[in-house]
DNA sequence: AAGGCGGGGCT
DNA sequence: AGCCCAGCCTT
């Protein structure tokens, strides 16, 4: 049996039942692929269900406001996916009459669709022999063939794409692609795979050379920077607060948050009171403030650690136009703000 | 070519 | 604490 047959045989026995495996409708496959980018199935699954429920067709998604899409995406991370999802839905609904492109090349032109996703949709929906190369495929191929080329540089990316393309079953690319990814997720796992039950145990180079835990090779280290976030949680006597949209580039673009003072070093109470933002906002206003959390809440992103304080500022009247506290949960926010709103006892 | 972009789970 | 996850976009 060749590589593809072994993989698809394994898949026919071990595959999980997942909602997007019951359809070849491009809209649903696209939705699932975007949600699952850099996201484990257990984390993405409830979001997929929510999106299918709220936006059953690409037209429903296109007709929504971006803030509605972000609200449903809240907590999933990599929010550019949601913004691009909405942009592409609008394009497909309005310019393509709701019909998805059916080739790798045309799919690749869409916002938010790169090599992996174009290959996935073209193969699963349109039976094109376009091989997917995701984290699972890198791991399986590097181990099985004992390939030590780093997977995060151009040379490795091209080498693995070429190999995956050579291996794909042209008669059944949809099944092949899904099978190899499921095999990577369930059998050829990153840590402690049970190679004793692997169908490739007699031919896997890494297993023979005892190098399973060294492959795939990935060189870059993401360096993490520390930042100090001070959120200003205003509470007025008429039960309003200030909530702002992050319109600038960077993390959490187009999500909402309390007014923020960002510093490179911790902000003590005196520095907080002396800060330009506090002064400008609270000039000529009487207020009382307290600190919600004495110890910083540490919010860890892949490339930043955010040491966060929430400052509670009670005022008679807001320094500028605000929103009703009861409306807070209708705005899309990051998980940090969302958790605070859930846990803090606002006087509603 | 390199770096930014989230949040959760596992070891 | 570090790595990984059905990657993509901008610079």
Q: Contact, A228 vs A161, CB < 8 A?
A: no
pLDDT at A283 over 80: no
pLDDT at A83 over 90: yes
Q: What is the mean pLDDT of residues A325-329?
A: 96
Q: CA A31 to CA A23: how far, in whole Å? A: 12
Q: Which residue, among A109, A116, A126, has the nearest Cα to A24 in the 3D structure?
A: A126
A33 is catalytic: yes
pLDDT score recorded for residue A244: 97
Q: How confident is the model at residue A176 (pLDDT cuts 50, 70, 90)?
A: very high
Q: Which residue, among A265, A346, A338, has the nearest Cα to A72 in the 3D structure?
A: A338
Average pLDDT taken over every residue of chain A: 95
Q: What is the mean pLDDT of residues A6-17?
A: 97
Q: Domain residue spans in chain A?
A: 3-214, 225-343
Q: Which residue, among A310, A129, A154, has the nearest Cα to A220 in the 3D structure?
A: A154
pLDDT score recorded for residue A220: 80
Name the DSSP class of A229. E
Separation of CA A77 from chain center: 4
Separation of CA A298 from chain center: 20
pLDDT score recorded for residue A91: 98
Q: What is A3-214's CATH superfamily?
A: Hypothetical protein; domain 2 (1.10.340.30)
Q: What is the mean pLDDT of residues A135-143?
A: 98
Whether the CB of A344 is less than 7 Å away from nucleic strand B comes out as: no
- Lookup: nucleotide whose C1' is closest to A119 CA: C6
pLDDT score recorded for residue A237: 94
List of A residues 166-195 with CB within 7 A of strand C:
178, 181-182, 184-185, 190
pLDDT at A268 over 90: no
Q: Write down the catalytic residue from A33, A49, A148, A288.
A: A33
Q: What is the mean pLDDT of residues A169-187?
A: 97
pLDDT single digits (tens) A20-40: 999 999 999 999 999 999 999
pLDDT score recorded for residue A209: 97
Q: A269 or A205: which carries more pLDDT confidence?
A: A205
> Which residue blocks in A192-346 are alpha helix, DSSP H?
205-208, 269-274, 276-282, 335-343
pLDDT at A82 over 80: yes
pLDDT at A281 over 80: no
pLDDT score recorded for residue A199: 97
Query: For helices A26-36 and A80-95, what crossing angle results, to 10°?
Result: 160
How long a stretch of residues is chain A?
348
What positions of strand B are covered by protein, i.e. any atom < 7 Å from a CB? 1-11
Q: Which residue, among A317, A7, A283, A44, has the nearest Cα to A144 in the 3D structure?
A: A7
- Lookup: nucleotide whose C1' is closest to A302 CA: B6
Portion of chain A with pLDDT greater than 90, in percent: 89
Q: What is A225-343's CATH superfamily?
A: Nucleoside Triphosphate Pyrophosphohydrolase (3.90.79.10)
């Amino acid at each position: 049996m060749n590589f593809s047959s072994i993989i698809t045989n394994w898949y026919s026995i071990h595959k999980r039942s997942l909602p997007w495996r019951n359809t070849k409708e491009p809209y649903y496959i696209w939705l699932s692929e975007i949600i699952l980018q850099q996201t484990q199935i257990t984390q993405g699954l409830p979001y997929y269900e929510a999106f299918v429920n709220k936006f059953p067709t690409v037209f429903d998604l296109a007709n929504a406001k971006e803030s509605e899409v972000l609200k449903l995406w809240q907590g999933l991370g990599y929010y550019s996916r949601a913004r691009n999802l909405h942009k592409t839905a609008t394009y497909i609904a309005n310019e393509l009459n709701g019909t998805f492109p059916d080739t790798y090349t045309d799919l690749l032109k869409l916002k938010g669709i790169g090599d992996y996703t174009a290959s996935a949709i073209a193969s699963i929906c349109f039976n094109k022999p376009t091989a997917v190369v995701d984290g699972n495929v890198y791991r399986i191929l590097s181990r099985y063939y004992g390939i030590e080329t780093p997977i995060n540089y151009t040379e490795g990316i091209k080498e693995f794409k070429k190999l995956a393309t050579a291996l794909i079953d042209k008669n059944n690319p949809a099944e092949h692609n899904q099978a190899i990814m499921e095999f990577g997720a369930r059998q050829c796992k990153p840590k402690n795979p049970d190679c004793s039950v692997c169908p490739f145990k007699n031919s896997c180079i890494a297993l023979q050379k005892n190098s399973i835990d060294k492959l795939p090779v990935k060189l870059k280290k993401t360096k993490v920077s520390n930042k100090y976030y001070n959120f200003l949680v205003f509470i007025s006597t008429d039960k309003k607060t200030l909530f702002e949209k992050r319109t600038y580039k960077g993390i959490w673009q187009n999500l909402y948050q309390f007014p923020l003072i960002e510093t490179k070093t911790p902000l003590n109470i005196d520095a907080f009171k002396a800060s330009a933002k506090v002064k400008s906002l609270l000039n000529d206003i009487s207020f009382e403030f307290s600190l919600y959390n004495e110890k910083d809440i540490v919010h860890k992103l892949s490339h930043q650690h955010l040491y966060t304080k929430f400052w509670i500022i009670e005022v008679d009247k807001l320094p500028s136009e605000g929103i009703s506290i009861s409306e807070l949960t209708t705005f899309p926010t990051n998980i940090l703000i969302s958790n605070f709103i859930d846990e803090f006892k606002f006087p509603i």
